[in-house]
Amino acid sequence: MAIAQTILTQALADEITLVDVNADKLHGEMLDLQHVAAFLPRTKISASVNYSCSFGSDLVIVTAGARQITGESRLNLLQRNLALFSKMIPPLAADSPDTILLIVSNPVDVLTYVAWKLSGFPSNRVIGSGTNLDSSRFRFLIADHLDINAQDVQAYIVGEHGDSSVALWSSISVGGVLILSFLERQQIAYEKQTLAKIHKEVVEGAYEVIKLKGYTFLTSFDWYFSELLPTKSAIDLCIYPIEYRFCF
């Protein structure tokens, strides 16, 4: 729902269709979104339990499925969400043969591969949210440590979303300056343990939020995915095919 809210409030689409198996929840979510219409640019919002209502979509975002309970790993969701994807992806792909599929459900990297295979789409039209949220957590933690604005920090987490992610330490730049090589050149000491602690907090971030409030919210959709929507004229997001590459 966080993604639908962002698309709505940022006026990124003319039409949003919600699909869920839980009819009551779906109707409630649709009404909730429709009720703020007076404050937002016009967007048509509809909802249905039938996948066919997504017919002809430009972008299909898949967030359906089981989520982690406290302490549970993302990979533990695989069997449940795999079964769901087997039922869901073929009709979604058939109803919107030219769409881009954006996968968010976990384990996201595995399910992106599954969606690619099930859809029969070319790999550049099946995209996972990957490590975008991890990179955002990374940037926040670095900014917090340095007491600066996270938007002035460029830093990337690559690899698999979550537990086995990899921090690209050499990529960290602040205001365009590569920070670790700068410190080394100036012979300014920094603690390797601090770096390890930051990455640990990135990896454990979702677990902590889930323990505290039950789920995490992928709210930063507009920053990293809005370029996928046709209402945006510029494409400046780097998207890499899922075969053995990573997403910055």
Ligand X SMILES: NC(=O)C1=CN([C@@H]2O[C@H](COP(=O)(O)OP(=O)(O)OC[C@H]3O[C@@H](n4cnc5c(N)ncnc54)[C@H](O)[C@@H]3O)[C@@H](O)[C@H]2O)C=CC1
- Catalogue the active-site residues: 161
C-alpha distances in Å from residue 124, one per residue of 2, 65, 208, 239? 25, 23, 33, 8
Instruction: Tell me how far, at minimum, the Cβ of 103 lies from ligand PYR, in Å.
Output: 12
Closest distance to ligand X from the beta carbon of 1 (Å): 7
Beta strands in the chain (DSSP E): 15-19, 44-48, 59-62, 100-103, 126-128, 153-158, 166-174, 177-178
DSSP classification of residue 244: S
Distances in Å between the Cα of 151 and the Cα atoms of 24, 56, 129, 140, 143 are 39, 35, 19, 9, 8
Nearer to ligand PYR, 65 or 90 (CB): 65
* 133 touches ligand PYR (CB under 6 A): yes
Torsion 211-217-218-223 (CA) sign? negative
- In this chain, which of 57, 99, 105, 106 binds ligand PYR, going by CB under 6 A? 106
Nearer to ligand X (CB atom), residue 105 or residue 165: 105
- 77 near ligand X, judged by CB under 6 A: yes
What helix, strand, coil percent values describe the chain, rounded to 5?
50, 15, 35
CA distance 82 to 87: 9
CB nearer to ligand PYR: pick between 142 and 179: 142
| 3-state SS class at 174 | strand
Q: How far is CA 152 from CA 34, 175, 197, in A?
A: 35, 5, 21
Which partner, ligand PYR, ligand X, none, binds residue 199 by CB below 5 to 8 Å per kind?
Answer: none
Told to check if 100 binds ligand PYR by CB under 6 A, we report no
Shortest distance in whole angstroms from residue 111 CB to ligand X: 8
Letters for 23-62 (x = contact with ligand X by CB under 6 A, - = none) are: --x-------------------------------------
Tell which one of 7, 101, 104, 202 touches ligand X (CB under 6 A).
104
Which residues 62-81 are close enough to bind ligand PYR by CB under 6 A? 74
> Does the protein bind ligand PYR through residue 216 (CB under 6 A)?
yes
Of 3, 37, 60, nearest to 216 by C-alpha is: 3
Instruction: Figure out which of the listed residues 5, 9, 10, 20 binds ligand X, where binding follows CB under 6 A.
Output: 20
Cα-trace Rg, the chain = 19
Compute the distance between CA of residue 103 and CA of residue 62 in angstroms, rounded to an integer: 5
* Contact residues for ligand X, defined by CB under 6 A: 19-22, 25, 63-68, 77, 84, 88, 104-106, 108, 129, 133, 161, 215-216, 218
* Contact residues for ligand PYR, defined by CB under 6 A: 74, 106, 133, 162, 206, 216
